[in-house]
Structures are given as structure tokens and as C-alpha cells.
Structure 1
Amino acid sequence: MEVSRQSSEMTVTAARGPRARTRRLILQTAMQLMQQGQTPSVSEVAEAAGVSRATAYRYFPSQAALVQAVVDEGLGPILDWKSRSTNAERRMADLLDLSMPRIDEFEATFKAALRLSLEQWAKRQAGTLGEEPQFTRGHRIDLLRSAIAPLSGRLSKRRFDRLAQALSLVFGVEVLVVLKDIWGLDVQEALSVSRWAASALIQAAEGEANT
């Protein structure tokens, strides 16, 4: 028992130690810059945080790794979302209710990450991406599959995947780009539209399963 307690204390100390504080400083600085609309490089974050570039790269070896960490920080409780409901429509509504206000709060951060994704796509198309690590986005896949999990036994794999893919069009920062920036809606109005569209898609998929 003594060994177990000692190991636990060492883990807590490490989590609160100098390395953890340095990582947190770099991460918070990067988030502040992204909330200002920037998509900073590791070097730019190091300068803003007052640490050496070597130190920053030790924690975040690439811009993609840094931005991914900031995105995960912004998503926060969304990544831990779980539902006990057995109703896919209810589960999807719960996910949207949790996610949309959070995405709106960190809208600038997620848009900065989206911009990096688009910039890397353009470089890849032009053949100039080189060895730059790719920023990947994919949390919504697992979240949406979890939301509609009660339908996995009723829908074929093809229809299940298609529904998850369709729901991805009403979930994420891209929804705010369309509904807020283009249509001029506020976040609650955008949430209402997303919930309505998600409900319609799930009902359509359930209707197909019953035919």
C-alpha cells in the first residue's frame, strides 16, 4: 500500500511540477493568440510565452501538434461527452446543447484551426507541404457515432455511416461559419437550426430502416 501511495504522490507532483507548468504556459499562450484570430507557429508562441524555441518544440514538435492540443483544450467537456439515453434523437440534441455554446465560446480558436487545415490542403495541392506534419481533424466522427449508437442495430453499416456523415454537416465550427457569418444568426438560433436538421436526418434514417 505504501508503494502505491508513493507512486500516486509522484504522479501528482509531476503533473504540477515545472514541466507541467511550462507546458501549460505554452498552451495558454497559444490559445490566447488563437482566440485573437491568429494561427501561430511554435516559434511565435515561444516568443510570446517568453520561453526558448527549443523548449517550446520539446513540448510541441510541430505547429500541427500545438494547434491540436489547443483545439482539444477548447473542446474540453465535449471530448468526454457521454449519454445514457437510448434514443438517438435525444442523444444528438444533448450533444448539440453541450457543444454549440462551447464552440461559440472558442469560435476564434476553432476557426484558426480550420484555417490551418485549409492552408495545409492548399500546400498539399500545390506540392509544397513537404515534410510538415499534417493537422488532422476527426473528433466529430467518434462523437457522432456515439450519439447515434442506439441505431447501430437497426441500420445497415452503410446507412449508419451515411447518417453520421450527414450529421457532421450540422455539427462543428463550420455550422457557425454558415449560420452566424452568412445568415447572421446568434448562437441560440444556430443551435435551434442544427437541432432541427439533426432531428430531420435521424427521423429520415429511421424511416428508411422501417421500409
Structure 2
Amino acid sequence: MIWLEYLESINTYFNIEILQPNDSIIKTKILNDNQVIIILDGFIKILKVFTNGEVICTQLLQKDHIIKLKNSKNSFVNYYYTATAITKTVILTTNITELKKKNIKIGKFSYYNFSKNNSMIQILCHKNTKKRIAQLLLILSKEFGKIQKHNIIIPFYISHNTLSQIIGSQRVNVTRIMNELKEKRIINYNNQQVTIYNVLKLSQY
């Protein structure tokens, strides 16, 4: 674990917490802005939640990524951000002030976010729901997939509601498309994992 080893090497105090699926970190005005939150293991979605109930997924973060929830201090803003665990997730929190005392540049902590942080762009660049779901499943296969025989196993449950939030589509459409993929034997899924039977067909779906 890059961050754990690094912070231990510079004798910096930190806390480790475990988030269960659907547990959330909500940024409020009283949340300590001096905190740095780092994912040691797991998968998290960053949601922009509007007061009218609309929810937009802005980022997908995983191991070694930094959780940044920058809410506006303007009292007229009609949204806030949450970080919600998709899988069981281990996070580390430390204090920016302590890092500054050790002459650690905060910019260093942003480097790892750029390498894999374009997942949402890859998904949302597609106009229709089918392509977005296919792209998301391909990304999950690449980042988390385990090869078993001729199949790729994504070793965790991802609900249709979570899929709909990530790709920005109605849940009923997601359910219809996932069932269609299942009927065509391109994928299979249950409450423990997603199995990709045919990556080529999925990429052409």
C-alpha cells in the first residue's frame, strides 16, 4: 500500500477506518478541511447530490486514490458531495497540517488521482445507455477483473441503482439492458459477482 508505507516512513499519525457497501462520507461545513482521506482498498463513487433529489456521479475512485470533497462555502449553493462505498472499503485519514510541518508538498498527494481518474469521461462520452453500461463493465473488468477459464469475474456485487447513478440513466433502463446482456450470454450476475463471458461482444454491444 503506497500511502500506508509512505506515511509510516515519515512517522506521520493516521487513522484507518472501514466502510461497508453504501456507507458514505458526507462533506459538511464542519468537516475538517485539514483532513486527507486516502483509499487503501476498495471502490468508491463520488456523488453530487442536489436539493431537488437529482444525483450525479462525478468520480470513481479506488486503491491509492485520494477522496476530495470540496463543497462550496456559498450558502446559496443547492448541492453537496458524498463519497459512497460500492464495495467494502478501507480508508486512511491524516492531517494536512502535520504533513506541512514535515515539508511534504500536498501536490504530491494528487499525482495518483490523475492516472486512473478519467473513468467517468470514458463512460459519459457515450450518448446511449447501452454503450455507457458496456464501457463501465469493461472498466470494471480491467481494474478488478480476475480471469477464470475463459471468463472475467468482477468479484463484487454492484446494484442496478448504483449502475444507474454512475452512468446517469434511469434504473428501469439499466435493468432492461442488464437482463438483455444476460439473455444474450454476454454476461451473468448475482448478488456476489459479475461474470463477463464475451469481452468482444460486450465491447461491440
Q: Same fold (TM over 0.5)?
A: no
Report the structure number with the largest CA radius of gyration: 1
Greater fraction helix:
1
TM-score (norm 2): 0.30
